[in-house]
Amino acid sequence: MSLLSFHDVHALYGQARILNGLSFDIGAGERVALVGRNGVGKTTVVNTLCGVTRIERGHVAIRGKAMRDLQRYTAAQNGISVVLQGRGIITNLTVEENLLLGAATGRRGPWSLASVKELFPILEERKASLGLALSGGQQQMLAIGRALMANPDLLILDEPSEGLAPVIVDELAELLVRLGNDGMGILLIEQSVGLIRRVAERFYVLSKGAVAASGPLADIGAEEFQQHIAI
């Protein structure tokens, strides 16, 4: 059974239709990339899942169950954590308070304040600092750590490499592969081909709000993949 699936979703942002019959699915423990140029609707996928964008037709299903009334909190309460583009750190809360916010759903699992800090020791060192005082890389760690605090079955990351140094992107890739190997599903919404190829097993290319191409990453060469993104 799919953990998350979009079925022929047409979604509107205001009066503008951004998604035009988008269908894709992610199974438990899969590492999937959603790619495409700017403006093709990648972030709208997150916004639709979080009830920000209105669904005109089609539906979103979580574990096979069609979600009729998607609210911003629906995904998290159903085991899907989102790391937003720009990270979404609450700037006037401390690092530790930001992490505790991630545990709001009360889902039990391997991730706790202690295990997240063990994964990212810098968050322990800077636990009393305000979110706005962190560097870009540290904010990304905090955003991922906060998402893990919800003990999700699926982790969605929207442009996580944006603004990060290459060495941090390498660490991010290793982490996401490790989380995937531990059974967590990963949906990577990304433009960095290097990060996608290191993390994802399958890909969907979005164009004009629908899937233009898809398949396993192992079956496709870097150049051909790059061409897909440049559609």
Partner 1 sequence: MAIQLLNGVVYGGLLYLLAVGLVLIFGLREVVNFAHGALFMLGSYVGYTLAASGQWWLGLLVSVVFMAAVGCVLDALVFRSLRKHDHIVTVLITFGLLLILETVVTVTWGKAYLSYPVPKLLAGTVEIAGSPFPIYRLFIIAVSLLVAAGLAAWLRFTRMGLYVRAASTNAHVTSIQGIDVDRLSLVVVGLGTALAGLSGVVAGPLLTLSPTMGNYILIDSFIVVVIGGLGSFGGAFIAALLIGQIHNLGAIYLPWAATMLPFLLMIGILIWRPTGFAGSRT
Binding site for partner 1 (CB under 8 A): 50, 52, 71-73, 75-77, 82, 84, 88-93, 97, 100-102, 104-105, 146, 150
Shortest Å, Cβ 3 to partner 1: 16
CB of 213 within 8 A of CB of 205? yes
Shortest Å, Cβ 208 to partner 1: 26
Nearer to partner 1, 88 or 194 (CB): 88
Nearer to partner 1, 30 or 158 (CB): 158
Q: Give bridge partners of residue 22 from the DSSP assignment.
A: 9
Instruction: Take residue 22 and report the two structure tokens written for it.
Output: 């988008």
Nearer to partner 1, 4 or 217 (CB): 4
Backbone angles phi, psi at 7, to 5 degrees: -115, 105
Shortest Å, Cβ 43 to partner 1: 13
Nearer to partner 1, 71 or 226 (CB): 71
Q: Give bridge partners of residue 206 from the DSSP assignment.
A: 211
Give the β-pairing of 2-13 and 16-27: antiparallel
Distances in whole angstroms, Cα of residue 156 to Cα of each of 141, 221, 222, 224? 14, 25, 23, 25
Shortest Å, Cβ 47 to partner 1: 10
Nearer to partner 1, 81 or 202 (CB): 81
Shortest Å, Cβ 138 to partner 1: 17
**Sign of CA pseudo-dihedral 221, 226, 189, 141:** positive
Measured distance CA(79)–CA(19) in Å, rounded: 24
